[in-house]
A and B are shown apart, each in its own frame.
Chain A
Amino acid sequence: MTGAIASIGRTALEVLRALGHHAFFFYELLRNVPAALRRPFLVVTQIHSIGNLSLVIIMSSGLAVGFVLALQSYYALVTYGASESLGLLVNLSLVRELGPVVTALLFAGRAGTSLTAEIGLMKAGEQLAAMEMMAIDPKSRVLAPRFLGGIVAMPILAVLFSSVGILGAYVVAVRLIGVDDGNFWSIMQNGVDVWRDVGNGIIKSIVFGVICTFVAVYQGYETQATPEGVAHATTRTVVISSLSVLAMDFVLTALMFSRH
Chain B
Amino acid sequence: MSKKGIETLVGVFVLLGIFGLLFLALKAANLGTFSTGDTYTLIAKFDNIGGLKVRAPVRSAGVTVGRVASITLDPKTYQGVVRLDMERHVQFPSDSSARILTSGLLGDQYVGLEAGAEEKSFVAGDTIKSTQSAVVLESLISQFLFSKAADAGSTAAPAGAGAKK
Contacts and interface: CB of A to CB of B under 8 A. Distances in A.
Contact of B10 (A48, A163, A192): A48
A159 B20 contact: yes
A45 B6 CA distance: 7
Contacts of B12: 52
A55 B10 CA distance: 11
24 contacts: A41-B3, A41-B7, A48-B6, A48-B9, A48-B13, A52-B12, A91-B28, A156-B16, A159-B20, A159-B21, A160-B16, A160-B20, A163-B23, A163-B24, A166-B23, A166-B28, A185-B27, A189-B30, A191-B30, A194-B29, A194-B30, A197-B29, A198-B21, A198-B25
A147 to B, nearest CB: 16
Q: From A52, A157, A191, name the one whose CB has the most chain B CB atoms within 10 angstroms.
A: A52
Given A162-B20, A163-B20, A198-B24, A192 B14 contact: no
Interface in A121-160: 152-153, 155-157, 159-160
Interface in B20-47: 20-21, 23-25, 27-33
B31 A194 contact: yes
Interface residues of B, number: 24
Interface of A: 41, 44-45, 47-48, 51-52, 55, 91, 95, 152-153, 155-157, 159-160, 162-164, 166, 185, 188-194, 197-198, 202
Contacts of A48: 6, 9-10, 13
Given A156-B14, A159-B20, A162-B20, A189 B9 contact: no
A192 B6 contact: no
Contacts of A197: 29
Interface of B: 3, 6-7, 9-10, 12-14, 16-17, 19-21, 23-25, 27-33, 55
B127 to A, nearest CB: 28
A143 to B, nearest CB: 19
B29 A160 contact: no
Contacts of A52: 9-10, 12-13
B17 A155 contact: yes
B28 A95 contact: yes
B66 to A, nearest CB: 16
Nearest to B34: A194
Given A47-B14, A48-B13, A51-B13, 9 more contacts: A51-B10, A52-B9, A52-B10, A55-B16, A156-B17, A156-B20, A162-B20, A166-B23, A193-B30
